[in-house]
A and B are shown apart, each in its own frame.
Chain A
């Protein structure tokens, strides 16, 4: 049932634009020991509502527990659990790479292959902007590493649901949508066996 293997899962959270709303969310994650890998926030098309994408690293049980705790926050308007949907996601990274007269051409060539743009040109360094999914960004950084990376900054992943599914329901409690709320259909083997797979969050 619950997959005990931790992996990255994307959540988009629509929140009321109230003071401390970011603190409330990060404090909840901190307090309960959920692992945030990245978080990005911005305004939305609705005044007074911000949207954040959080990458949570954890197994399915932990992430679902996190979602249900988030649902209880007064400022949370809606949670989209991208694991249940098809989605697009992007991340932007700025990478400042050291150059020498000899390496300059090669560095630019690699950047071109990645369709990366140069956003700043210096005597000893070029700064690139790369957009893409995680694999592309990692590949880019690895390619540039031998030349000397001086600085990087990433925005964190942002995600939207694909297609016209714009108004998907927030993560709701209906049985079946959630692993933890899904009843055990198989027989009733001794619970002690199964209990081992259940994360004790406290």
Chain B
């Protein structure tokens, strides 16, 4: 806030008139260095929007749906590591935030959500647009508040910001009744709370981890979303010990993909190398992760031969799913640095050879399809570019095929798997980093869940968001499951006859559009799309029925993975009659995996 200008001797801010709860809110946000908020106005939040006009130092971005606004705030937070802020009115505005809050909770995204509510004397009376949003969001927020007294408002905001970004980050919601927003406020505007120190791991636990690592013959590191901010230390650790590194869906970018030690992503659609390495490892060093079921596969078949070291800040995650042999609770940065100090360069030539062989089994898409299209797009990414994805087959293809050199360049909805996340998140990230390309790859289904945010691109003349729609005319991921596990009974997954003309849709918002439907058309279309000075949309029309492989069927262990597309193998077999190929049908393989 300006100190000298517009203030009289008592420090009273003349240019901004009388201080109210609503103004104190903006002043507090400004004091916390918050430059941008995403939101949507309405009756119960009007005093806050009125007060906004006095605070030009905070930029408000108007979305077209509160879900779009909150995912944009998440995109902002995921890309920068700083808190994202969104605002909504009471009732329907507030309930539209619920999906984003749950998403942020699952993926540990620091987020502040501010909602208006009816005046205090009306609360609990089923007043117009009243919703018990703190009750509704209780299980999907790290904490939430109703502000009952204007004197508490700025302190609550400061505390909410601290909670959201302290320790394991998460979303915090502050619900402000309308009369509290309007009430005069005479108190101080708080400055940011000091960030409490992250506890350092105990020496004893580090010692035990060292002993275990020294005894290892087949070690592997697995880094999750909680390791993104310790990327440098983890990279040094892995290189010092010569231990291969797996990064989970949330951890992609924590270790540079160009390093030969990198094995890719584990889990349901993980790489052959990652899943095999987990299954064979004798020591698994997990860093900042929570052993999600999509990562572990069948839990009692996960890393069956490994002693597990788990470096984690949130004690509740240690031993929650997977039994840990050496728990290391505390800051991953410190833990990784200490383990690096005492590193002993590994001598495991057989392990390295084995891993190289597995890595050779990773397939690159070589024929026209969604995989080919995704690969063509992600191959054009520079290390600085941000890639967001929506949820579905294209998401898994992005995670398999993109190569991230740095953390926080990959944004996706991992824990909740929220369709509609990708595009608004790319807008938020693009606004946070206007000099960087913010690319989103979305499915034809999910894009339509938040396509209205095309208006946000137009309104703010955002030029760095590049949308790529992988149009397979299906809710592809669901279709694949129906093909594999429900006897090809395709139920409510066909979008082909009712999808919009995506180029016309973009055009309606003055967003230029490009289309490619073949290998031949693709490079030119990508060039035109990326070179367009404006934000632009590229629709890639791909064959309807494709599967994502490798795949570990639900309920199977990682070592029971289906390594490559059996349909494709059969096709190739026909072409090359005498080549030895796996000809089992998908159903047979899946069945076998289930029974194993």
Q: Which A residues contact B (CB, under 8 angstroms)?
A: 19-20, 23-24, 27-28, 31, 61, 64-65, 68-69, 71-74, 173-175, 180-181, 183-184, 188, 190-192, 194-198, 200-202
Within 8 A of A (CB), among B161-189: 163
**B163-A74 in contact (CB<8A):** yes
**A191-B316 in contact (CB<8A):** no
**B318-A180 in contact (CB<8A):** yes
Asked if B142 is at the interface (CB within 8 A of a chain A CB), the reply is: yes
**B318-A191 in contact (CB<8A):** no
**A31-B325 in contact (CB<8A):** no
**B321-A200 in contact (CB<8A):** yes
B134, B293, B319: the one contacting A181 at CB < 8 Å is B319
Within 8 A of A (CB), among B127-170: 134-135, 138-139, 142-143, 146, 163
Which residues of A have CB within 8 Å of B134? 20
B318, B320, B326, B327: the one contacting A201 at CB < 8 Å is B320
6 smallest CB-CB distances across A and B, nearest first, come from A180-B319, A68-B316, A195-B300, A74-B143, A192-B304, A184-B325
Asked if B214 is at the interface (CB within 8 A of a chain A CB), the reply is: no
Q: A20-B135, A68-B316, A181-B315 are in contact. Are A173 and B329 (CB under 8 A)?
A: yes
Which residues of A have CB within 8 Å of B308? 191
List 15 contacting pairs A-B, 8 Å CB cutoff, sorted by A: A23-B135, A24-B138, A61-B319, A73-B143, A74-B142, A74-B143, A181-B327, A183-B208, A184-B307, A192-B300, A192-B304, A195-B299, A195-B302, A195-B304, A200-B299
A108 to chain B, nearest CB (A): 48
Q: Which B residues contact A (CB, under 8 angstroms)?
A: 134-135, 138-139, 142-143, 146, 163, 202, 204-205, 208, 282, 293, 299-308, 314-316, 318-327, 329
Cα distance, A23 to B326, chains bound together (Å): 35
Write the chain B residue with the least CB distance to A70.
B316
Q: A23-B138, A65-B320, A74-B142 are in contact. Are A174 and B300 (CB under 8 A)?
A: no
A27, A31, A71: the one contacting B315 at CB < 8 Å is A71
Cα distance, A190 to B204, chains bound together (Å): 24
Which residues of B have CB within 8 Å of A180? 318-319, 324, 327
**B315-A173 in contact (CB<8A):** yes
Interface of B is mostly: mixed
Cα distance, A89 to B142, chains bound together (Å): 33
**B323-A194 in contact (CB<8A):** yes
Which residues of B have CB within 8 Å of A173? 315, 329
Cα distance, A105 to B80, chains bound together (Å): 78
**B305-A191 in contact (CB<8A):** yes
**A191-B323 in contact (CB<8A):** yes
A27, A72, A192: the one contacting B316 at CB < 8 Å is A72
Which residues of B have CB within 8 Å of A174? 202
A69, A183, A191, A197: the one contacting B306 at CB < 8 Å is A191
**A27-B139 in contact (CB<8A):** yes
Which residues of A have CB within 8 Å of B324? 180
Which residues of A have CB within 8 Å of B208? 183
A4 to chain B, nearest CB (A): 13
**A71-B316 in contact (CB<8A):** yes
Given contacts A27-B139, A183-B325, A202-B321, 19 further A-B contacts (CB under 8 A): A64-B319, A69-B316, A173-B315, A173-B329, A175-B205, A181-B329, A183-B208, A191-B303, A191-B307, A191-B308, A192-B304, A195-B302, A195-B322, A195-B323, A198-B299, A198-B319, A198-B323, A200-B299, A201-B321
Which residues of B have CB within 8 Å of A202? 293, 321
**A188-B321 in contact (CB<8A):** no
**B318-A181 in contact (CB<8A):** yes
**B139-A175 in contact (CB<8A):** no
Q: A19-B146, A183-B208, A191-B303 are in contact. Are A72 and B138 (CB under 8 A)?
A: no
